[in-house]
Structure 1
Amino acid sequence: MLDKRAQILLKTLVEHYINDGQPVGSRTLSQCSGLDLSPATIRNVMSDLEALGFITSPHTSAGRIPTQRGYRFFVDTLLTVQPMHSQEIQRLKHELRSPDPQELISSAAGMLSELTQFAGLVMIPKRKRIAFKHLEFLPLSEKRILVIIVTTDGNVQNRIILTEKPYSASELVQATNFFNQHYTGFTFEQAQQKLHEELKQMQSDMTRLMAAALDASGKALDEDKDNVVISGERNLLQVDDLSTNVTSLRKLFEIFERRTSLMQLLDNSQRAEGIQIFIGGESGYLPLDECSMVTAPYEADGQVVGTLGVIGPTRMAYERVIPIVDITAKLLSNALSNT
């Protein structure tokens, strides 16, 4: 679509605008592009780029700034990614050392925010990845039973279930032994399916008790987790491109609060391979044209289990943010696989 000369000028313009936030004029492009072109030729190329929708002229300046389409072409075609500094990589490795998966996820979100000075977020693995390690029934009163749920990720939950009939202590021991013998290592969904298939082979009273325990387990696992960990949202208040738009910034923080749209976006990113970049309104989920998101999936034991990323201004240093997101995803994958 663009010849080499137009690509070089567009790349120069985008890089300068990202660096200082000021509209870029023909004189700057003439000095910094490395092209031996007259001011008139540069102005003609700029007019062509503007007609194609890659750049636009703010009303208050003779210079140009990139549009969403210009950023997209820059990121897809012209960007030169800068490798992370070795000190930053070593620091990431140091922070992502923990036997606790939840602590690893929180650390990853915090490091994404700290290294980019934007908002870092990590989608927590879905419940279906978590399996039962141990379950125990303890009597509280005639029809109130405490269920202790331990999952393979180290999570422990206590839930009280109310039963239609009283259970003796020996019956609860029998139920505990039965569950741990037949359901240890099963995910929540697998346990439900197995229970459904074996209904006719089990005593009805025990069936009801198991069903109540699985229902309590599902609610416990849902309540125990936020779907996504977010760190550094307040960094966005310091970004000039965002902080001046109070109404839109409020909408963005509402999304951080509700998190539903973020989850949909991260879930979609999880199905893709490698780095995904959403610029402005491309995603359909972010409320700001001035806002972009860079994401990457992460794994545990060879399976993709979630997505992490950074939300910041459209005018971000993509060449620096992309490797930070990419390497954080790889290091988190390695850490989770070794827990």
Structure 2
Amino acid sequence: MAPPVTELTDRARDIFRAVVDSYLVSGTPVGSKTIAQLAGLSLSPASIRGVMGELEGLGLLASPHTSAGRMPTDRGLRLFVDGMMQAMEPSIEERQTIEARAGVGGPVEEALAATTLALSGLSACAGLVMVPKRESTLRQLAFVPLSAQQALAVLVSEDGSVENRVIDLPPGMSPSALVEAGNYMTATLGGLTLAEARGRIERELADGRAVIDGVARTLIERGLAVWSEDANRRPVLIVRGQGRLIDAAAAADLDRVRDLLDDLEGKQEVASLLDSARAGDATRIFIGAETKLFALSGSSVIARPFRGLDGRVVGVVGVIGPTRLNYARVVPMVDFTAATLARLMG
């Protein structure tokens, strides 16, 4: 663990902060001459080198090679984030951008994706959001004939949302049978989730209690199957703005960028990491090798849960980027985005 900030001398704190601030801007190791030129320190490069050596001995700074300057370690960044960072609240323009994207019409997933893309653009990171795991409760189901071979299956949820799917009709399906199947499903399955509806239909068919003919049964099974399969394929995680991870500094370290993009391809692992941020109300910051997933890519994740009207956590929003991201600016931006999404989900 990093030593408490209070155990560092004033001089060491000032120099450490200067190194971190400079590194987060440039992404390159910082030399003592650069630090000496900063106003307010009034120290010689030799004095600064001595203090930087002490900080290196504490595991807070590191040098990639002998002739290079120094850069903060993951341990050093943790000390900076937890004990020294001065947060910068989002500007009015940034707030308006996030709120405007969250206010787009259409399905919730589209608003989440649009908000995540806005967060990505403002933070210069990739934006992440976990899709809320909410199961729709069914109100009405119907089948509209399109041709002799296909029909449009229409599902109306209790929240008023409508979903349509084109399904293939079993041979011999008459228009009256379509109406019968829709009426049966509405009367029997209204108020249930998709999972509950499939379970009830399967039980009723198995027990012979379903008062419908064989063709209608086939249609009902197909309709429920296409909706359930579609729901299972929905991504647990929405990622937007991966291209922002490849900047000028990243071009010199393509292996790290490739590792990071590979991490994002394995969405389930990233989703599991975000899921660990669901507990509590505070923003979680995962820095580099502190998390096994990012040990190779040297990446950081900033994440915060957001809640629905009932107070339950319905998702997590955040960003992923290099460990040298601007924590002081991005952390409050993620906080504001989470608050915006909480209002959206309400």
TM-score of the alignment, normalized to the shorter chain, above 0.5 = yes
Q: What is residue 252 of structure 1 aligned with on the other side?
A: 260
In structure 2, relative to structure 1, the CA distance for the partners of 1:196 and 1:268 (3 Å cut) is: farther
CA distance in 1, matches of 2:15, 2:322: 22
Q: What is residue 158 of structure 1 aligned with on the other side?
A: 165
The alignment's TM-score, normalised by the length of structure 1, stands at 0.82
CA distance in 2, matches of 1:170, 1:117: 56
1:305 aligns with 2:311: no
The 5 A counterparts of 1:186-265 are 186-195=192-201, 200=207, 202-203=209-210, 210-223=220-233, 225-240=234-249, 242-265=250-273
Q: In the alignment, residue 225 of structure 2 is paired with which amino acid?
A: D
**Partners of 1:248 and 1:287 within 8 A in 2:** no
Q: In the alignment, residue 274 of structure 1 is paired with which amino acid?
A: A
Q: What is residue 55 of structure 2 aligned with on the other side?
A: 49
Q: In the alignment, residue 244 of structure 2 is paired with which amino acid?
A: N
Which residue of 315, 324, 328 maps to 2:333? 324
Q: In the alignment, residue 297 of structure 1 is paired with which amino acid?
A: P
- Deviations for 1:263-309, whole angstroms, at most 9, x for unmatched residues? 33233333453312121133333364432121122233343222222
In structure 2, relative to structure 1, the CA distance for the partners of 1:194 and 1:81 (3 Å cut) is: farther
The unaligned stretches of length 5 or more in structure 1 are: none
1:17 aligns with 2:23: yes
CA distance in 2, matches of 1:33, 1:186: 67
CA distance in 1, matches of 2:302, 2:39: 27
In angstroms, what is the RMSD of aligned CA positions? 3.4
Report how many residues are paired.
333
CA distance in 2, matches of 1:146, 1:313: 46
In structure 2, relative to structure 1, the CA distance for the partners of 1:139 and 1:88 (3 Å cut) is: closer
- Deviations for 1:8-40, whole angstroms, at most 9, x for unmatched residues? 432232112112334334455566595677766
Q: In the alignment, residue 230 of structure 1 is paired with which amino acid?
A: V
The 5 A counterparts of 1:84-99 are 84-99=90-105
1:280 aligns with 2:288: yes
Q: Greater shift after overlay, 165-174 or 117-126?
A: 165-174
In structure 2, relative to structure 1, the CA distance for the partners of 1:190 and 1:32 (3 Å cut) is: farther
**Partners of 2:195 and 2:228 within 8 A in 1:** no
In structure 2, relative to structure 1, the CA distance for the partners of 1:153 and 1:34 (3 Å cut) is: farther
Q: State the identity as a percent.
A: 33
**Partners of 1:121 and 1:231 within 8 A in 2:** yes
Q: What is residue 118 of structure 1 aligned with on the other side?
A: 125
CA distance in 2, matches of 1:268, 1:195: 36
CA distance in 1, matches of 2:43, 2:17: 16
In structure 2, relative to structure 1, the CA distance for the partners of 1:314 and 1:190 (3 Å cut) is: same
**Partners of 1:275 and 1:296 within 8 A in 2:** yes
Q: Secondary structure at the match of 2:164?
A: strand
The 5 A counterparts of 1:137-156 are 137-138=143-144, 147-151=153-157, 152=159, 154=161, 156=163
Q: What is residue 72 of structure 1 aligned with on the other side?
A: 78
In structure 2, relative to structure 1, the CA distance for the partners of 1:57 and 1:336 (3 Å cut) is: same
CA distance in 2, matches of 1:284, 1:131: 39
**Partners of 1:50 and 1:56 within 8 A in 2:** yes
Q: In the alignment, residue 104 of structure 1 is paired with which amino acid?
A: A
- Deviations for 1:93-135, whole angstroms, at most 9, x for unmatched residues? 2332233223311221221111112222222223x43333432
